[in-house]
Amino acid sequence: MDAARANHRAMTNRLKIVAIVLAATVVTPAAAAELVRKATLAVRMAPPPQGVAGVQIAETFPQGTAQAIGMKTGDVVTSADGQPIRASGDMAAYAASKRAGDAVSFTVLRDGKTVKLGGKALPRPFETYAGATVTYGQIPFAGGLLRDIMVMPKGVPTPPVLFLIQGFSCASIEPAIASDPYRQLGEELVKRGIAYYRVEKPGMGDSSGPLACTDIDLITETDSFRAAYRHIIDDKGIDPDRIFMFGHSLGGIEAPVLAAERPPRGVAAYGTVLKNWADYHLDIGRIQSFLLAGADPASTFAATEQNRDLFRRFYFNNETPAALAAANPAYGPAMRELFNWDGQDKMFGRNFRYMQQIAHVPLAAAWRGTKSNVMALYGETDIVAINSEDHRLIADIANFFRPGSGRFVEVPATGHGMDLIGNRSEYREKMIATGGNPGSSPFNPQVAVELANWIKSSMARPPVRLQADRQLPQPPAG
């Protein structure tokens, strides 16, 4: 136990030191460059006819490169820039490599004939919001540039600004579909006179540079959000007393760390954790399949206990997946099942160091030090975050140290994606009936309503900046 505590302290100090080093070195010569918009093909793909190699175009869409260069529904793309196209993944990778103005060339089969197509790539359409102006910017970071987007409601001179800190996945904050919850959240906030700010993770969206989201660790990702926070204050001139951080899912781990360093007006979290990440991960194994599909909890609890030593060695001893797999033949299959390990350095699609570092973030200390108004939001049917316990405790910590600053809100019938999915029993029955594929559900605007009401009430009263003068009992020695 003493060794584990010492390791935890050492890792926490290392995180702080590396973060400071990164923060001091993010301004690079790339700052002078202009961030060019990513291109879009704007097609829907399908498998080719029997016996034909390539990818068939099922549909082309307006404002896209494919339609502009003359690509048609039914064409079978066999090559791009002279390289063979064998599957839809090849087309997606090709499209992702292009920016607006780049030359593109395709060979397609059309009505049994080979046709050459070419031209200039067109940019992805820019976002638009009713009653708002949308500004695309860029932030120098670690030898590259991050794309940021500010949506400002018209007719509101100095609106409060919600700064979204998105969740775990490596996905663009510019959703491709109008029903995406982050898009819906922004629309609801703007309607209520609240500005909406986002920044891409390294390597995502229009962002450029040497870093890829799937390769970076948690330290680097958090520092990219730190650079964006500094940017909207120092470069955009927005007073932190008008800024509200909103950490969704794993973003709720990063938000209080940043807020404790430089307090905004408020910090909110939805669908996050407070307990140590390793304990949370064990809970996922113990409980989630029961909550989702009615699996036997006695069996899942027993099976999870068999992996406790693996979790200890991975999360607290910081052993690499390769070393663990070599040390115990049972660990490799267990990591593939429980961590979605790819056999190399990725777990759940992220670098394994990212996973390890989450377990060393001192979350209770971060929320204690968050000298801002606090709201912990929990969806009643959020099976990913398991239950409301951690969220209630986040608000309780805020209120203990700064009475009146914390608020807990549970949003009925709402899931981890801020979607309206019914209560827990209803959702479980739906999961069982559909074989685990219940389909998409609409965004629940009540999430935005709760956030907007909290933001407006927080703007009406200043946060309690100083901790209460308490003589706190010390933990027992040893």
Query: 358-380 burial by CB neighbour count: b if 16+ within 10 A, else e?
Result: bbbbbbeebbbbbbbbbbbbbbb
CB contact set of 308 (below 8 Å; sequence gap of 6+): 282
d(CA 312, CA 305): 12
| Average pLDDT value for the chain | 90
If pLDDT is split at 50, 70 and 90, which confidence band does 334 have? very high
- For residue 442, the domain's CATH number is 3.40.50.1820
Please check whether residue 439 is in contact with residue 253, taking contact to mean a CB–CB distance below 8 angstroms: no
DSSP-based three-state secondary structure for 446? helix
Does any domain span residue 126? no
Please check whether residue 138 is in contact with residue 153, taking contact to mean a CB–CB distance below 8 angstroms: no
The string of pLDDT tens digits covering residues 180-233 is 999 999 999 999 999 999 999 999 999 999 999 999 999 999 999 999 999 999
If pLDDT is split at 50, 70 and 90, which confidence band does 478 have? low
Residue 172: pLDDT above 90?
yes
The answer for 394, left when phi > 0, alpha when psi is -120 to 50, beta otherwise, is alpha
The string of pLDDT tens digits covering residues 20-39 is 223 333 333 334 468 999 99
Name the residue among 368, 364, 157, 164 with its Cα closest to residue 251.
164
pLDDT (0 to 100) of residue 7: 39
Neighbours of 171 (CB within 10 A): 17
Please check whether residue 249 is in contact with residue 236, taking contact to mean a CB–CB distance below 8 angstroms: no
pLDDT (0 to 100) of residue 23: 31
Structure tokens at 257: 């760390």
Residue 18: pLDDT above 60?
no
Give the count of alpha carbons within 13 A of 373, CB side only: 21
pLDDT (0 to 100) of residue 258: 97
Does any domain span residue 429? yes
Does any domain span residue 337? yes
pLDDT (0 to 100) of residue 176: 78
Query: Angle 29-35-40 (CA atoms, 0-180°, nearest 5)?
Result: 150
Does any domain span residue 268? yes
Residues 154, 71 share a domain: no
Q: What does the pLDDT average to over 156-162?
A: 97
* 12 or 445: which leads in pLDDT: 445
If pLDDT is split at 50, 70 and 90, which confidence band does 2 have? very low
Residues 139, 114 share a domain: no
Name the residue among 223, 257, 231 with its Cα closest to residue 161.
231
Residues 305, 219 share a domain: no
Residues 284, 388 share a domain: no
> Could you write out the DSSP letters of every residue in 238-295?
--GGGEEEEEETTHHHHHHHHHHHS--SEEEEES---S-HHHHHHHIIIIIHHHHH--
d(CA 324, CA 205): 35
- For residue 108, the domain's CATH number is 2.30.42.10
Please check whether residue 415 is in contact with residue 427, taking contact to mean a CB–CB distance below 8 angstroms: yes
d(CA 21, CA 291): 43
Residues 421, 341 share a domain: no
Neighbours of 159 (CB within 10 A): 21
Query: 63-87 burial by CB neighbour count: b if 16+ within 10 A, else e?
Result: ebbbbbbebeeebbbbbbeeeebee
d(CA 188, CA 7): 44
Helices (H) and strands (E) in the chain, counts: 17, 16
Number of folded domains that form the chain:
3
If pLDDT is split at 50, 70 and 90, which confidence band does 13 have? very low
Does any domain span residue 35? no
CB contact set of 358 (below 8 Å; sequence gap of 6+): 218, 250, 253, 277
d(CA 355, CA 321): 11
Percent of the chain with pLDDT over 90: 81
pLDDT (0 to 100) of residue 475: 59
Residues 380, 364 share a domain: yes
Residues 346, 260 share a domain: no
Does any domain span residue 92? yes
Query: What is the distance, to the nearest Å, from the Cα of residue 132 to the centroid of all Cα atoms in its chain?
Result: 24
124-128 long-range contacts (CB < 8 A, ≥24 apart) are 124/37, 124/38, 124/39, 124/40, 124/174, 125/40, 125/63, 126/37, 127/151, 127/174
pLDDT (0 to 100) of residue 317: 97
If pLDDT is split at 50, 70 and 90, which confidence band does 448 have? very high
Residue 473: pLDDT above 70?
no
d(CA 34, CA 28): 13
pLDDT (0 to 100) of residue 474: 61
Edge to edge, the sheet with strand 161-165 lists 132-141, 144-153, 195-199, 161-165, 243-248, 266-270, 373-379, 406-411
The string of pLDDT tens digits covering residues 303-333 is 889 999 999 999 999 999 999 999 999 999 9
Residues 291, 177 share a domain: no
Residues 160, 76 share a domain: no
Residues 383, 249 share a domain: yes
Residue 9: pLDDT above 60?
no
Does any domain span residue 392? yes
Q: Which domain holds residue 286?
A: 277-358
Please provide residue 243's backbone torsions phi and psi, each rounded to the nearest 5 degrees: -100, 135
The string of pLDDT tens digits covering residues 390-441 is 999 999 999 999 999 999 999 999 999 999 999 999 999 999 999 888 889 9
The string of pLDDT tens digits covering residues 36-83 is 999 999 999 999 998 888 999 999 999 899 999 999 999 999 999 999
Residues 170, 231 share a domain: yes
The last residue of one of the domains, among 358, 380, 404, is 358
d(CA 176, CA 179): 9
DSSP-based three-state secondary structure for 403? coil
The string of pLDDT tens digits covering residues 228-261 is 999 999 999 999 999 999 999 999 999 999 999 9
DSSP-based three-state secondary structure for 190? helix
The last residue of one of the domains, among 293, 328, 358, is 358
DSSP-based three-state secondary structure for 329? coil
Q: What does the pLDDT average to over 122-139?
A: 96
Residues 369, 247 share a domain: yes
Residue 452: pLDDT above 80?
yes
Does any domain span residue 269? yes
The last residue of one of the domains, among 338, 358, 378, is 358
